């Protein structure tokens, strides 16, 4: 994961800052990027603000108000260049309709969003172990 981009799509900047601290404490060797909504995220994937390299992993809170995460995931899955991105839905809202829709779009996992520092460290440590044990497309 050294040199890779991970894109966090969430309406809460504080959550991103706390996730970035957890990445630093754990020693995750990837760059965490932040998009506050689906429009900004799409611009970072395909638009004027395109990230290079393209993120291999995305974390999206599809239930956040003002964020159309299901549409974003669908656009990613339909795009040849982006469809292999490993997408995790991370949310504190139990919306069974969104969960079903996301799972039908071939996400890697639908998980409870951690907020406390210890929970975030455990959560991202587990994800980091997973990310480092799988192979990504080039």
Q: Using the 8-state DSSP alphabet, how is residue 97 labeled?
A: H
Write the CATH number for 113.
3.40.50.2300
Q: What is the chain's pLDDT, residue by residue, as a tens digit (138 residues)?
A: 567 899 999 999 999 999 999 999 999 989 999 999 999 999 999 998 899 999 999 999 998 888 899 999 999 999 999 999 999 999 988 889 999 999 999 999 999 999 999 999 999 999 999 888 887 776
Q: Is residue 137 part of a domain?
A: no
> What are the two backbone dihedrals, phi and then psi, of residue 86, each rounded to the nearest 5 degrees?
-80, 115
Q: Is residue 124 part of a domain?
A: yes
| Tally of structural domains, the chain | 1
- Report the C-alpha gap between 1 and 30 in whole angstroms: 6
- Report the C-alpha gap between 79 and 57 in whole angstroms: 15
Q: Is residue 74 part of a domain?
A: yes
Q: Is residue 136 part of a domain?
A: no
Q: Is residue 107 part of a domain?
A: yes
Q: Whole domain around residue 125: which residue ranges? A: 4-131
Q: Is residue 138 part of a domain?
A: no
């Amino acid at each position: 994961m050294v040199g890779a981009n991970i894109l966090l799509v969430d309406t809460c900047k504080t959550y991103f800052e706390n996730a970035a601290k957890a990445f630093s404490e754990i020693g995750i060797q990837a760059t965490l990027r932040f998009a506050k909504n689906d429009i900004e995220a799409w611009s970072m994937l395909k638009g004027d603000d395109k990230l290079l390299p393209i993120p291999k992993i995305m974390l999206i809170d599809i239930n956040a108000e003002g964020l159309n995460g299901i549409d974003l995931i669908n656009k990613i899955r339909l795009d040849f260049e982006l469809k292999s991105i490993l997408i995790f839905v991370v949310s504190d809202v139990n919306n069974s309709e969104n969960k079903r829709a996301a799972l039908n779009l071939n996400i890697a996992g639908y998980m409870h969003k951690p907020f406390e520092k210890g929970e975030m460290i455990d959560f991202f440590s587990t994800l980091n172990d997973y990310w480092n044990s799988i192979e990504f497309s080039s």
